[in-house]
Structure 1
């Protein structure tokens, strides 16, 4: 009788639940993120902004650093550092999704974070910087740092992760 070989990377974790829905969510985030970045890059020149409302602009900005332009003025090493962090994070998230694929809210959070991380890693690899374009501001008090769909997915995923953890702690 022939034995069935299993690959080291399977989309079906040991508990039998498929990873595909979670990978699909991440793929949708990556697709939306990259399409919006391409559109803004084609419609704007660097630094150009278009006023949309009294509190929101579209602007083409480049971020060579991390969140809030952290380390953006360094010599270039940060591109590889943040790319490596993104790749390691994605690998860890896939591991977590395989182990906990039945925990819906937790996996939603991880999928959003993974999609955002992949979107920003793609930018770093292709352009050497992350493309940002969403610019919120409030009544002359200044502008929040520009961000993108990937950043939004990471923040939403982090919020869901915190909510899921608080909910889990309160059950005990």
Structure 2
């Protein structure tokens, strides 16, 4: 029965990874965003803008070097291993498993991009209320953010459940 214990973690990670990669393929390749560079979907709230992120969030550490690429692949993989190890050593609530799965699935989606292309494919651009956002991101980034927030929010719930258990 042990494998079933982390089923929510596995399936959340699986679907996060799959949705991230499928959305990138659909928008960047199938819809031709790589060629068109820009598709207005629901301006200004939702637009597709082609981006190649060689650094981390918001283009930080974007020096376009192979060393940086491999360091970021290693760092992302290490974060995934640490999160998985941490969560598997506890008895996490279902929401914490899902959060960990989302974070790992999104991070691995970005790792695959770096392995395939040398950079992370970004395409989502959202603006609102007269403020124009110049940054682009992807579905994997959304899952990483939601997963990290969920781990922070639900970690204490796992502690309380462990303390209540006889």
TM-score computed with the length of structure 2 as normaliser = 0.83
CA change 1:166–1:100 in 2 (3 A) is closer
Unaligned runs of 5+ in 1: 1-10
Shift of 1:50: 1.3
Secondary structure of 1:138 counterpart: coil
> What SS is found at the alignment partner of 1:60?
strand
**Structure 2 gap segments, 5+ residues each:** none
Q: 119, 127, 132: which one pairs with 1:129?
A: 119
Kindly indicate whether the alpha-carbon contact (under 8 Å) linking 1:12 and 1:98 is maintained by their aligned counterparts in 2: no
Equivalents in 1 of 2:134, 2:146: separation in Å? 17
The equivalent residue for 1:64 is: 54
1:36-80: per-residue Cα shift (whole Å, max 9, x none)? 111122122256111122322012211001111111134332111
Deviation digits for residues 99-149 of structure 1 (CA, Å, limit 9, x no counterpart): 124422222221111011110000001110000111011344321521111
Larger helix share, 1 or 2:
2
Partner Cα separation in structure 1 for residue 81 and residue 20 of structure 2? 20
The question of 1:107 aligning with 2:97 is answered yes
In structure 2, the CA distance between the partners of 1:18 and 1:51, relative to structure 1 (3 Å rule), is same
Q: CA RMSD in A?
A: 2.5
Higher RCO (CA 8 Å, separation ≥ 6 residues)? 2
2:107 counterpart (111, 117, 122): 117
Kept after mapping to 1: 8 A contact 2:93/2:158:
no
Q: d(CA) in 1 for partners of 2:105 and 2:80?
A: 9
Query: Matched residue pairs, number?
Result: 159
- For residue 29 of structure 1, report the CA deviation from its aligned partner: 0.6
Larger radius of gyration between Structure 1 and Structure 2: 1
Counterpart check, 1:18 vs 2:5 = yes
3-state SS of 1:159 partner: helix
